[in-house]
Amino acid sequence: GRRRLHRSEDRNTAQSHGKTTRVARPLSENDVGPFNSIFMATALKAVGIPGTSVEREDAALSLAQSKPVVLSPEQRQVLELVAPLPNPSRMRIMLAGKPVSGKGTQALLMAKKFGVPHISVGEMIREEMKARSDLGLAAAERVAEGELLPDELILSILHRRLERDDCSRLGYILDGFPRTRAQAEAMDRENIVIDRVIYLDRPDEDALFWSRGRATDPVTGVIYHDVLNPPPEQISARLVRRSDDQRATVAKRLKMFNASFDEVYGRWKGVMKRIDSSNRRTVMEVFEDICGALEDLIPREESTNWRAFGSHRSTFDVTTVADVSEIKERIKELDRFVTRRMQNAKEGVMTRGALLRAVEQCCAFSLIRQQEEDPGKYLPFRVGTDQIGYVGRSLAADLISANSPGDAEFLVTLEACSIDGWSRIAGSVELSPSILDLPICQRTLRIGRVMERLHSAGRIQGWRNELHPVAVDYNSETLFEIERACLPYFGLRGYGVHVNGYVRNGGEILIWVATRSRNKPTYAGKFDQLIAGGLPAGVSLLENVAKEAVEEAGLELRHMDELRSVGSLSYLYETRKGLSCKALFLYDLELPLDDFIPKNLDGEVEDFNLLPARTVLKSIANNLDAWKPNSAVVMIDFAMRHGLIDPCSEPDYLKISSFLN
């Protein structure tokens, strides 16, 4: 990986330092066009370009004008660090930190590096103050007293800014907002999405010290400090000091920030990265850590996937004036179509990575990788020559004592080392040949007794008194039947049905969401499909769908006319019980809007709610723990098939699609 630019005794950053920040391209002295001289001067100063600030700006200007300048390896490395990426990285970032923690400086670097607009609520307010508008005069009085402006006013200004085209396409760096719990709650109501919070943590004393000597050059925008970053003598007279940098005012703001930190930013702790921005660290050290914290949000592909419609249109052979008019009208229609579709896609924007996480929790487990990391954790379970599952190491040991004395149902070989100590003897669990000689009903009985002993000993939990058929494949001959609760303990594939019940109201899709009974042995109180259940022994697929439809949702036969088979979903993931291996048969059922209200008859559902599809997706994105894991994935599959998740707005679209397939 790239060598660290600086060393520090105490990094205390939340991100891994092993990642490498992707550089746009190899940077040469003659290829720095995207930089302006002031921006480059700041970077050059950070790595020790000798001379005064003016001389550094001259050197930077020479670079910007493609004039050769000799750079040391360290200086070149810094310029590569701040070089813009080849494609804008669509990020929705919140830059948080105490007053005088370096947000303004870092926001400039981030905006240029990642191609993301910098939205400073403070700057917007200060522009009003500078213009001495009615708003500006009122704001100046409150700011001078260290008070905050009304939330409604700030939100109105912010919302208008975020609706502009650059923020819709490129994302945003939100600086200086929110500052109160009410503002944070208002962001939730307005669906202002945040992918990552960068929290610049500067000790209070460092912030107070910076505020006492801070001054800004109104011509260049460079921030100086009397001690830490002295300005050149020739510009000292024009420097501007902020009215809210008085020690008492800053101390009051620091106290307010510290007291309200958890209630304001607590809701984003899952996406927050803490960056040490104390005075002992340079600007570039802090910026390098920020780049590391944002690494996982940078698309790996050379081109981004949130702009499905590029600017490249087909060319036409123009022969007449009528042809020209027709082409212009067709281009206008295309533009209107793109605008309309992009607006619809924008309404469906979710927190980056949220839907992918929902799918990964069921579909991303790799048994091969698990066995490589911990050989022997799961022992293959065989019936004859066929492997049908995996048994955890500890349960395999318990099977030995749970077997019937003198006539074991399971033959267990635990993993061991050979006599020479160099080779490993793999373990396994096999169904005894004597059990295979029995009829299926007697096999089921003998195996069931062993399972009951394990259940009595507390090794198998969630007993349901429901037998599940076990076979090599879905349509192959049943080998035996086993209590459904035992399936994950033996890594056996279970089968089930999930039915997405939905209605159409004009052009909108609404989905019936069930809340599982709090008395259920598994996933009690979690959200689920309208109809869902395992496939018990002796019941066909359609019989099971009809049975669950009546018992769980009170459907009548006339409601089942629109039932459509739409595929299957297979997955394997690790639980505290073992390996959950499932194959779900999926159905869509369009129901009437005004002629159906579900009613549970078997006590397994607490209630039903008819919700807009986008509300359901937001629930999965923002409150995944409230959902039964496989039901969340089935819902995402439904949304993908019905065009409710759009590649224009979902950066993880291809990954999600790959996992589902």
Residues labelled catalytic: 103, 179, 214, 242, 253
Residues 6+ apart with CB under 8 A from 253: 98, 99, 146, 244
- Per-state percent for the chain, helix, strand, coil, to nearest 5: 45, 20, 40
Q: Are 429 and 391 in contact (CB under 8 A)?
A: yes
- The helices-and-strands tally (H runs, E runs) of the chain is 22, 22
Interatomic CA distance for residues 208 and 150, integer angstroms: 26
Query: If you write DSSP's letter for every residue of 229-266 in order, what string do you get?
Result: BPPPGGGGGG-B--GGGSHHHHHHHHHHHHHHHHHHHG
The amino acid that residue 581 corresponds to is: C
Contacts 24+ apart (CB under 8 A), 515-519: 515/605, 515/606, 515/607, 515/608, 515/609, 516/604, 516/605, 516/606, 516/628, 517/603, 517/604, 517/605, 517/606, 518/606, 519/603
Q: Are 110 and 120 in contact (CB under 8 A)?
A: no
Residues 6+ apart with CB under 8 A from 151: 180, 182, 183, 186
Q: What tokens does 74 get?
A: 């360290």
Q: Are 306 and 90 in contact (CB under 8 A)?
A: yes
CB atoms within 10 A of CB 643: 10
Q: What tokens does 633 get?
A: 């994935």
Contacts 24+ apart (CB under 8 A), 567-572: 567/637, 569/498, 569/630, 569/633, 569/634, 569/637, 569/660, 571/362, 571/363, 571/365, 571/630, 571/633, 572/365, 572/367
Q: Are 479 and 435 in contact (CB under 8 A)?
A: no
Interatomic CA distance for residues 55 and 190, integer angstroms: 48
Q: Is the link from the previous residue into 433 a cis peptide, with omega within 30 of 0?
A: no
